[in-house]
Amino acid sequence: MQDRFESVLEAHAARYPAMMPQDYGKLAYQHVFGPEHLVEDAQAVGRLLQEEWETLRPDPDGVFRAEPIGNGLCRLHLAGPWDPAAGKLLGELFCRTAREHSGTAAELAERLELLQSCPVPGMRDWLADYRAAGCPAVHHSEPFRKAYHPHYRVLAADYAHYFPALLALHRQLAEKGRIVVAVDGRCGSGKSGFGRLLERLFDCNVVHMDDFYLPIAARPENWTEIPGGNMDLSRFREEVLLPARRGETIYYRPFDCRSQTLLDAQPLPSRPLTVVEGSYSHHPELAGEYDLKLFLTCSREEQTRRLQAREGTYYQTFETCWIPAEERYLRSFDIENADVLRLDTTAFFLE
């Protein structure tokens, strides 16, 4: 953990050369404790967030930049102007982070020891005074404020990185009440993990495209040459998409690759949100069935690193079979450039 915090310090020192000793102290404090010291009244959190946000200059890009601070946390920088939907979601995730994350005085003491060796003028004196004061929460220095105009909230890293997608989903739910969302993308880009995150945050069903492979005997002879030729898209539409859109209980039969058979039906009660996770979920045969389509991607190098760590000796099959088939599908239907919200997750899990 100390090595990781050293990397955070190096990144922030390079990005913010006007940092003063207390800004390093604030970084250490946030790295350990997150926002737990700031949340006592959820309504007050929302009110203060709105008041601060309304002071920001309009940002034409509207980009919520997630800046890792280590220990599973990020600073999510606000993007003006004030957005009530974004503010509501950000306030909820901020409070949730405070409930879920905790740190200790001993952990802070370790991080302060690392600051002791930083070649920052005045650091040793500031640390002596800070320790004598009992190591309280810290504000940014005036030089830092003038140079960088910091406006952010500390969130769990997953909440911060995926905030644009969570916000788009949040808006659709508020508008329609019941929606179906598809998460497609490259293998290793984080689709399954994102599905698990949505299960934690929303009242939803998550359905996996891996449960809808065609039995080998039922595939066309040239299935390897057909984008999505290994998928039973018709069964997927009938068993999942149509009942989900009608607000009915979903009964679907997962496909078992080992036995090449369909397992017993799995009932999923009607919920406001149905998430379809997996490659081929954006296939043109399913066009018009979704309220929102998300596409996750990552660099080829990062994809290789993740899949080798996840699959071990089975990685070679991905290299020679599944990745080429997936890329053929993406190119054939221009999936990545269609009407999708695209997220590059390359830097999401590098801490």
pLDDT value, residue 44: 84
Which amino acid, 324? P
Residue-wise pLDDT for 154-170, tens only, equals 999 999 999 999 999 99
Closest CA to 27 of 134, 128, 144: 144
- For domain 163-344, give the CATH number: 3.40.50.300
Q: Could you give the 3-state DSSP secondary structure of residue 190?
A: coil
Q: What is the pLDDT of residue 58?
A: 74
Reported as type and span, the H/E element at residue 156 is strand 152-156
pTM: 0.92
Q: Which positions ≥6 away from 301 have C-beta within 8 Å?
A: none
CB-based contact 238:232 (threshold 8 Å): no
- The 8 Å CB, 24+ separation contacts for 235-241 are 236/209, 236/212, 236/286, 237/285, 237/286, 237/289, 240/207, 240/274, 240/276, 241/180, 241/276, 241/286, 241/289
CB of 214 closer than 8 Å to CB of 262: no
Give, in order, the Cα–Cα distances in Å from 256 to each of 107, 191, 261.
Answer: 46, 20, 6
CATH 3.40.50.300 positions along the chain are: 163-344
Angstrom distance (rounded) from CA 251 to CA 236: 11
Residue 149 in tokens = 């105009």
Which residue ranges of the chain lie beneath pLDDT 70? Answer: 1-3, 37, 39-40, 60, 350-351
Output the pLDDT for position 245.
Answer: 95
Dihedral of the alpha carbons of 56, 149, 4, 68, in degrees to the nearest 10: 10
Give the pLDDT confidence score for residue 60 in this predicted structure.
67
Q: How far is CA 255 from CA 230, 259, 265, in A?
A: 12, 9, 10
d(CA 244, CA 182): 12
Q: How far apart are CA 118 and CA 111, in angstroms?
A: 11
β-pairing, 292-297 vs 341-344, is parallel
- The pair of three-digit structure tokens given for residue 85, joined into one six-digit string: 């939907």
Nearest to 88 by CA among 133, 39, 49: 49
Bridge partners, 276 (sequence order): 182, 207
Query: What is the per-residue pLDDT across 243-275, written as a single tens digit (0 to 9) for each?
Result: 999 999 999 999 999 999 999 998 999 999 999
